[in-house]
Amino acid sequence: MIPEISIGPLTLQTFGLMFALAFIVAGLLVYKRFEELGKPGDWAYEAVFAALAGGLIGARVYFLIDNYDGSDGIFDSLFSGSGLTWYGGLIGGVVGVALWAKWRNYLNLRLTDVAAPALLAGHAVGRIGCQLSGDGDYGKPWDGPWAMSYEDGVVPTPPGVTVHPTPIYEMLAYGLGAYVLWRLRDRFRFGILFALYLIWAGTARFFVEFLRTNDSVAIGLTMAQLISLAMIVIGLGWILNVKRLHGTLARPADQQLPTA
């Protein structure tokens, strides 16, 4: 594990570096897509900043709701500087971008499709940070062929214990999903790409969660799995409803983008 990188007197946290890189990668995809849609590429910077601000707030608040034990005051816990949860970040990021889109008068289904590949790409890069830092997102003990030890991580595994490298599993799943959705970005009616994102991301996290160490909260499933199931149901329901209303998921002529 490489939790830190030292450059002369400067020490950088690898998780923080990958966190920043995740937003850069997502922003580049959003920039490219806005240009394809005939919108200002600079909107990508605004949207990513809104996602970053909302995501940080949401990730922190969700973590506190999920982990607060009352030992510290709410104010002290809120600004303690540790603890972020991805699903909280997703919710906060969605709220932040929605507020930005409302300001720009661009709150529509086309925007959700712009976000879909970028969300998966950013999540994939973020999981590289989890892997490098060994921040506790690894899985259950395992002695299989690619099992890993995180003894040098921020949240170390016990000496001699190897586990499932679940950050790598998620990185691969989300990275592949980003590639697939990017290739499909002009195939479907507006909104379908985001529905596919919900299904892909929800399915990947649901199954990876079986290999992680999180505690179950209901019917033998973790909170992340329950949220994942909700994402899958919403995505499937979205697609089935569009299919019922229009008979096809293919993009109609009035939604085709102009060609140069």
The per-residue pLDDT for range 185-231, each reduced to its tens digit, is 999 999 999 999 999 999 999 999 999 988 899 999 998 899 999 99
Residue 183: HSE in the Cβ half-sphere, 13 Å Cα cutoff: 6
Amino acid sitting at position 145: P
Q: pLDDT > 90: what percent of the chain? A: 64
pLDDT value of residue 108: 93
Give the whole-angstrom CA distance, residue 19 versus residue 12: 12
pLDDT value of residue 67: 60
Residue 164 in tokens: 């499932």
Residue 220 in tokens: 């033998």
pLDDT value of residue 28: 96
Q: Centre a 10 Å sphere on the Cβ of residue 73 and count the other Cβ atoms it contains.
A: 8
Q: Which residues of 40-60 are buried (b: 16+ CB within 10 A; e: fewer)?
A: eeebbebbbebbbbbbbbbbb
pLDDT value of residue 78: 39
Amino acid sitting at position 240: L
Q: Centre a 10 Å sphere on the Cβ of residue 72 and count the other Cβ atoms it contains.
A: 11
The per-residue pLDDT for range 134-155, each reduced to its tens digit, is 988 899 999 999 999 999 888 8
Residue stretches of the chain with pLDDT short of 70: 63, 65-87, 258-260
